[in-house]
Amino acid sequence: MKRKRIAGIAALFFVGVTALLVAQAPDALQLYRNGRYNAAVQATLDEIEQMPRNMNAYSVLGWSLLAQNRNEEALEYGTRALAVARFDHRIVHIVAEANFRLNNNERALDLYQQYTAIRPQGVHIPQVYFNMGEIFIRMGEFNRADIAITTALHHGDENINWWVRLGYVREQINDHQYAEQAYRQALEMNPNHTAALQGLSRVEAVVGG
């Protein structure tokens, strides 16, 4: 009985010390928001050492590593986190982004597609679809790239470079009429955009502008 009581006191002491350490730890998310990415990385690694299944810490760690283009590390830690929480949309996105930047196209595409299923209205959805379009361009699958970038623009149509990219993709599939529309949409946003002007000149030469 005495041994059980001592063990119980020891367990309570451990929990109390752990809680105290967490309370005194720097706010990793705030460090990240303040652009102090190295400090955020260290803070999250300390948190993970104390609580290995802390997905909040893994998320901030991944964001901080990506912000510094430490993509291999983001992939490494993100993969560890996926082994714990397979469907955490934050981790899925981090690992997808790391793979995208490292040109692991098929793996990135698979994870981006998972993100769209898990978080169809997520904050990253427009960029996710655009990046999927970029992967299809890398693969030479321009029809699928058209669909993906069009979907990205459906979710957020204010990025002029996405319109230019859509025009380029449509040129590749000889859809010059709709390529012209994409370039003109870009030029409505910025009449002096060089790539849009060049694209429009190319398609007008084909369709007779």
Rounded-to-integer distance, Cα 106 and Cα 182, Å: 27
pLDDT at 11: 46
pLDDT at 22: 42
pLDDT at 89: 98
Q: Coil, strand or helix: which one is 88?
A: coil
Domain final position from 67, 102, 137: 102
pLDDT at 207: 87
Question: In which domain, by residue range, is 149 found?
Answer: 124-209
pLDDT at 147: 98
Does the structure show a pLDDT above 90 at 157? yes
pLDDT at 4: 53
Q: Which of 6-10, 38-42, 73-77, 142-146 has the lowest mean pLDDT?
A: 6-10
- For residues 95 and 46, membership in a common domain is answered with yes
Own/partner pairs for 126-131, CB < 8 Å, 24+ apart? 126/152, 126/153, 126/155, 126/156, 126/159, 127/152, 128/93, 128/96, 128/152, 129/155, 130/159, 130/162, 130/165, 131/96, 131/97, 131/100
Alpha-helix runs per DSSP H in the chain: 2-24, 28-33, 37-50, 55-67, 71-84, 89-101, 105-118, 125-139, 142-155, 160-172, 176-189, 194-207
pLDDT at 10: 44
Residue 151: count other Cβ atoms within 10 Å of its Cβ.
Answer: 17
pLDDT at 26: 78
Does the structure show a pLDDT above 60 at 209? no
Does the structure show a pLDDT above 50 at 18? no
Higher pLDDT residue, 175 or 7?
A: 175
Does the structure show a pLDDT above 50 at 117? yes
- CATH number of domain containing 154: 1.25.40.10
For the chain, the average pLDDT equals 91
pLDDT at 208: 76
- For residues 142 and 183, membership in a common domain is answered with yes
| pTM, to two decimals | 0.86
- Domain assignment present for residue 118? The answer is no
Domain final position from 102, 134, 155: 102
Is-contact 49 79, C-beta < 8 A? no
- Domain assignment present for residue 143? The answer is yes
